[in-house]
Structure 1
Amino acid sequence: MKQTITYNKSILAIVIAMSIVITLLSSGVAHGQNSNLSQNEPLKSIANETGGSNDSIIISIPVEKGYVNGNISYFISTDASQEMIVSSITNTTKFDVNYAPTLSNTPELSRQQGFVFTNGLLGNGTFEHQLPVASAASGDEGYSPLFQINYVKWNNESQPRILKSTADIMDAQSQGELTVEKSNVVINSPAVMIK
């Protein structure tokens, strides 16, 4: 009988310990998801408050759409090398994008080309025109999360159409339909998969 009591106490201790661990883990994840952090408060403080550095922290970053090789692709934007672009993306997505002027110092070889339309058909893209176009998708040769912005302007606004690839843009430029102005503005905008 003494052995049964000891055995039952051991099981009870294990059940209580597991309950405590599950409660701590649950409260840590919930705290990370629902925390109202001030903008400058380091995320590290959540880990310290919840009991360890291995706690998960979940944040939300808005996803933006664009065309790559005729297909819709999805991207997030976290940093930009020009303050005007930082403000534009932040205002559009309601997510605070970081000002990172050193992105413009990255070698051109490490960037892919991104095309934003400054006029033409109205839409949900940058500057409220058609969606932007990127030169490569994740997994493609030439893919980089760093986008060098090229501004695309229709020469005759009465004849714009949706362009969905770099080839479409280059073809329209060679026909004199539009002008492409290369900039040194770079955005950190990695591709993401939407399931």
Structure 2
Amino acid sequence: MKKLPALLIIGIFTIGIIFVSSTSDQLVDAGSRKKIHFTETITSSQDPGQGHENHQLALILSPNEGTIYDGSMTFTSSEPVQIVVLHEISSQESKGQPTWTVDGKTIYGLSLIDLQKNSGSFEFTGAAVALHSPNSKQFTTTVSVDGWIRGQPTEVIMQKIELEKEEPSSLLSKTNVPATIPMHKGIYEGNQVLYIITDSSDEDYAKIMSDKQEWKVEVAPLLANVPENTLQKLFIFKNGIKGDGIFGFQNEVISNTPSQESEYSALSSVIEVTWKVGQKEIEFTSADDVIVAEEGGRIEFNETGIILNAPQISWPDGQMIVRSDKEISDEMSYSGGQITEINEEEMTVTFVAHRGWGPDGRTIYYIVTDATPTGPAESMGVVSSPSSANLIANSGAVDLFQFKNGIIGSGPLGFQPGIAAAALGDKNYSPMWRIYLVEWNDTESAKILETKSDIDSFRADDMLSVSIARPTNSDHIVNCPFIDPFQ
């Protein structure tokens, strides 16, 4: 990111439709790419496209020659709408496909997603994005967009936004959103445990788990590097007594819970259990019983080497803290708990998902499930997991940069959101984060940073310092799975 004030971009469509982003937008110049975040309420007008005279259109991202937008959008609308994505094509390419044009000369390929819904989320890549109604009734929509502008628009006005000098702040939309995640039933010493699965070290297993729970389990290859002293065992049954387990048999057996604080870890080594032919099948209620049965030759173990991130939500004598304030807002603090609801009837748990940036400036969302040492864990209202400290110098953990001064914002310390050294889909992604603190040497010079290279650049210019976080002089690791809260 160039060291410049934030910019407001106003795209002007040639037929006179004007899209103006609000002052809460943030655009960061990145050469041929520009980052865009905004939330805007728009009232539709008559669709100017030929053959659409009786339709309504709300233009979200306007077309400019040579420009491509890609990102995601969430919307609510007063009327059911369709999603329109336009693609820049030549007149020779227009034959045999749906098109959209105002004057018959400039022609766009037309992708129409016929949602006919009043709300939704979708990802897009194209030369323009709009919401469309096939009738003439005007509608109003509120949209939140997060994405990139690629290429250099030909019809663009750049205006500086003067940031508030007394208390500059980062104005992002949807800085905290709800994330509802399916829970699984496990057993510890004959009692029920409820837990979630967010990550897998193995891509194939991630797909299997995603299909089973109908919620995406992310691939975290670095979890395969986690040392044995940071793991607990998760026994998953491939046959035997029918039940609610992952594969349709008895519930998973868990070796420890947060009540065994020194032994507990959300990171679980998967051991698949199969009954041998001719053995009388029973329901196991403890890890010790499973191990004894294997030693006695009644069952077989498949020690898969696969690691799942399986944080526990409730256990025989405890549960994660549920926030007293259920309403999730952009201004809510990290303290007081990370959960707004545990719904045992629906078998779901709703976390607060916090917004931040990936290494290249892409928006990421993460939840917080456990941490070490105890102080920060208690402050955030999550489980204490001392064994995670074994990752402080291990490649199973990745760097996450949080800001301790500078621009006021929604980060855990009250300043701008954090920046991660990896994002979902990266080979070096892990849900286990080694926290570094970023501090501006002169807060008057503070700017909003969005990428890892931003931090490196300002650090090289001696404008800020970066140090590893050591609360109470202890190693600090936080389990922050990155998730898609809108799935």
1:73-152 alignment, distance < 5 Å: 73-140=193-260, 141-152=262-273
Distance 1:39 1:71 in 2: 42
1:62-81 alignment, distance < 5 Å: 62-81=182-201
Would the aligned equivalents of 1:119 and 1:157 in 2 still touch at CA under 8 Å?
A: no
1:1-195 alignment, distance < 5 Å: 36-38=120-122, 45=146, 52=172, 55-140=175-260, 141-156=262-277, 159-193=280-314
Distance 1:131 1:72 in 2: 9
Unaligned runs of 5+ in 2: 1-74, 77-117, 125-143, 147-170, 320-341, 343-487
| Secondary structure class of the residue paired with 2:179 | coil
Unaligned runs of 5+ in 1: 1-30, 46-50
Q: What letter matches 1:190 in structure 2?
A: P
Q: What letter matches 1:177 in structure 2?
A: R
The structure richer in helix per residue is: 1
Query: How much does 1:124 deviate?
Result: 1.6
Give the CA RMSD over aligned residues.
3.0
The structure richer in strand per residue is: 2
| Secondary structure class of the residue paired with 2:263 | coil
Would the aligned equivalents of 1:130 and 1:162 in 2 still touch at CA under 8 Å?
A: yes
Distance 1:44 1:188, change over 3 A: farther
Distance 1:181 1:44, change over 3 A: farther
Question: Which 4+ residue blocks in structure 1 deviate beyond 4 angstroms?
Answer: none
Identity %: 27
Q: TM-score when scaled to structure 1?
A: 0.71
Query: How much does 1:175 deviate?
Result: 2.2
Query: How much does 1:84 deviate?
Result: 2.1
Q: Could you say which structure has the greater relative contact order, defined with CA pairs below 8 angstroms and 6 or more residues apart?
A: 1
Q: What letter matches 1:159 in structure 2?
A: K
Distance 1:104 1:170 in 2: 23
Would the aligned equivalents of 1:135 and 1:165 in 2 still touch at CA under 8 Å?
A: yes
Would the aligned equivalents of 2:279 and 2:298 in 1 still touch at CA under 8 Å?
A: no
Distance 2:121 2:278 in 1: 45
Query: How much does 1:36 deviate?
Result: 3.4
Query: How much does 1:174 deviate?
Result: 2.4
Distance 1:175 1:112 in 2: 22
Distance 1:160 1:63 in 2: 26
| Secondary structure class of the residue paired with 1:60 | strand
Query: How much does 1:54 deviate?
Result: 7.7
Distance 1:36 1:143, change over 3 A: farther
Write the deviation string for residues 46-90 of structure 1: whole angstroms up to 9, x where unpaired.
xxxxx5468431011111111112211011111001122111211
Write the deviation string for residues 85-116 of structure 1: whole angstroms up to 9, x where unpaired.
11121111111110112111111110101111
Q: How many residues align?
A: 161
Q: TM-score when scaled to structure 2?
A: 0.30
Distance 1:152 1:134 in 2: 13
